[in-house]
Amino acid sequence: MQRPNLTKIALVRVLGCKVNQAEAAAMAAILETKGFTVDSESKEPDLVLVNTCCVTAKAEGKSRRLINRLALEYPSALLVVTGCLAEINPEVGNSAHKSLVMGTFEKDRFATFLDAHSEDESRIVRKGASSCNTYGDLGSPAIPGRSRTFLKVQDGCSQRCTYCIVPIARGPSRSMPRSAVLERAAELDRSGYSEIVLTGIHLGCYGRDLDPSITLEDLLEDLLCEPGRTRYRLSSVEPQEITQRIIDLAANNSRICRHFHVPMQSADDSVLSRMARPYDSAFIRDLTRRILSEIPEACIGLDVMVGFPGEDDRSFENTRAMIEQSGAAYLHVFPFSPRPGTPAAKFGPRVASAVAARRVEELRTLSAKLRQTFHERFLGATLTAVAESEPDPVTGTLIARTDNYIPVRVVARHAEGLFQVKLQEITSEGSLGSVSAYTNAQSKKQNRRNPS
């Protein structure tokens, strides 16, 4: 309910992937154009927006609990539920007195549906993700004072992995037109951003649906040809879509971050086959070798799914052994979660939950060891970074992110743009460093080739 003579207040909450984060920021900006003030600390919001996730059972549970808590905490607010869970299970908004549940198709048209909705009624708006045939552009807001931002350029997925609900929740793969990407990137560069993270649900599929079709590599080359000092970071890219051309671009151009996040899922051939992943363990082994051969300082992260049906001790050991030999710097480990509507939900034999939990813990321990080893390689080195957090008002410290994905806490009350940090100490809680100089994208190349 709107309070008289006061600006309407919106509270925005987001769960899940970087694409969800980018979309939530865009929807927050749209709310501001509709007369709302977005205030994360408000105790009396008029509208509460929740961008949900359901990629795993744990993620779905977190989304449901958050929705229920917010509905109880702010009973007079309009609760707007969107994201993947809103598409798969639109009844999730039932706990609120007033709710608007927007599936994938409607979320892409957030401003229009927000205008059409009456705040005095609950409504589920769901045409179906399969109706999303063109890219829905929510925008990429420029937030003053920030140095790093996400630019979503692709949505949906046409790949049919047996465990994944995302193609059903997000619809088919679709891409932002090349000209729109270039225009948006130029706007963000002019707004002062020093790093743009290119995101998508299936980023490596970018451009295949366009006419004429192009590739992610084509887009990267176009971006690099544009004037500007902004550097680009790729979010998760499927292994088979990290081409030699992408590796060469990252090896030879300082405006592409030396960071590859690879959703490997498993390194056992029998498990990969049941997952319907389009590669085998030898491909992963060769990919990491080629990346590190050309870019020795590169950070490689691996997604690993544990406990997929049929994963026996030998299968798990194959995965663990390959990870140890891969040169990876960190792992994102999560247990298999059967999703209704996917083939794997009916697969057997199931891995006992206690066994899966033990394997998850084992790989997370390995990840901590790999991360520590990777960070220690750069002790005493000077690397180019961008601020990832606001300076602490008391200590003046902030978290900076190097181009090869090392978070470094530094004292930098006025850190803007790209700057050089020297890693001085590696602790179990993170890396500590100091700002040694300010730089720009053009001068970064020499530093990358001589990091110490």
Work out the number of other CB atoms within 10 angstroms of the CB of residue 151. Answer: 22
Whether residue 26 is found in the same domain as residue 113: yes
Q: How many domains in the chain?
A: 3
For residue 394, the enclosing domain spans 382-449
Q: Cα–Cα distance between 286 and 424 in angstroms, integer?
A: 33
Per the omega criterion (within 30 degrees of 0), is the bond before 45 cis?
Answer: no
367 and 425 both lie in a single domain: no
Q: Helices 178-190 and 216-225 sit at what angle, rounded to 10 degrees?
A: 40
- Give the CATH number for residue 47: 3.40.50.12160
Residue 244 lies in a domain: yes
Asked whether the beta carbons of 302 and 287 are under 8 A apart, the reply is no
Consecutive sets of 10 residues in the chain, 452 residues long: mean pLDDT of each? 62 91 91 89 91 88 93 91 90 81 85 71 69 83 78 93 92 95 94 94 96 97 92 97 97 96 98 97 97 98 97 98 97 93 94 97 97 95 90 85 95 78 87 79 38 35
- Looking at residue 42, its pLDDT comes to 85
Whole-number pLDDT of residue 55: 87
**Interatomic CA distance for residues 176 and 198, integer angstroms:** 12
Residue-level pLDDT at 416: 74
Q: Alpha-carbon Rg of the chain, whole angstroms? A: 22
Is the domain of 370 the same as that of 393? no
Domain final residue pick, 331, 350, 376: 376
Same domain, yes or no, for 311 and 445?
no
3-state secondary structure of 121: coil
My answer on whether 310 and 181 are in the same domain is yes
Task: Check residue 104 and give its pLDDT.
Answer: 84
Return the pLDDT at 441: 41
DSSP states along 396-448: -EEEEEETTS-EEEEE-TT--SEEEEEEEEEETTEEEEEEEEE--TTTHHHHH
Place of tokens 């085998």: 280
Q: Taking the complete model, does pTM exceed 0.75, yes or no? A: yes
Task: Provide φ and ψ at 81, rounded to 5°.
Answer: -110, 125
Q: Which of 376, 408, 428 is the last residue of a domain?
A: 376
- Same-domain status, 39 and 112: yes
Asked if residue 135 is part of any domain, the answer here is no
Q: Are 194 and 326 in the same domain? A: yes
For the domain that residue 400 is a member of, what is the CATH number? 2.40.50
pLDDT digits (tens, 9 = 90+) for 310-362: 999 999 999 999 999 999 999 999 999 998 889 999 999 999 999 999 999 99
Of the candidates 104, 130, 156, which is a domain's last residue?
130
Question: Does residue 140 lie within any of the structural domains?
Answer: no
Q: Do 97 and 52 belong together in one domain?
A: yes
397 & 348 share domain: no
What are residue 351's phi and psi, to 5 degrees? -85, 130
CA atoms within 13 A on the CB side of 103: 21
- Give the pLDDT of residue 5: 42
pLDDT of residue 442: 37
Q: CB under 8 Å, gap of 24 or more: what pairs does 443-451 form? A: 444/231, 444/254, 444/255, 444/384, 444/403, 444/418, 445/254, 447/382, 447/383, 447/384, 447/420, 448/254, 448/258, 448/297, 448/384, 448/403, 451/297, 451/378, 451/381, 451/382, 451/383
Regarding whether 351 and 407 lie in a shared domain, the answer is: no
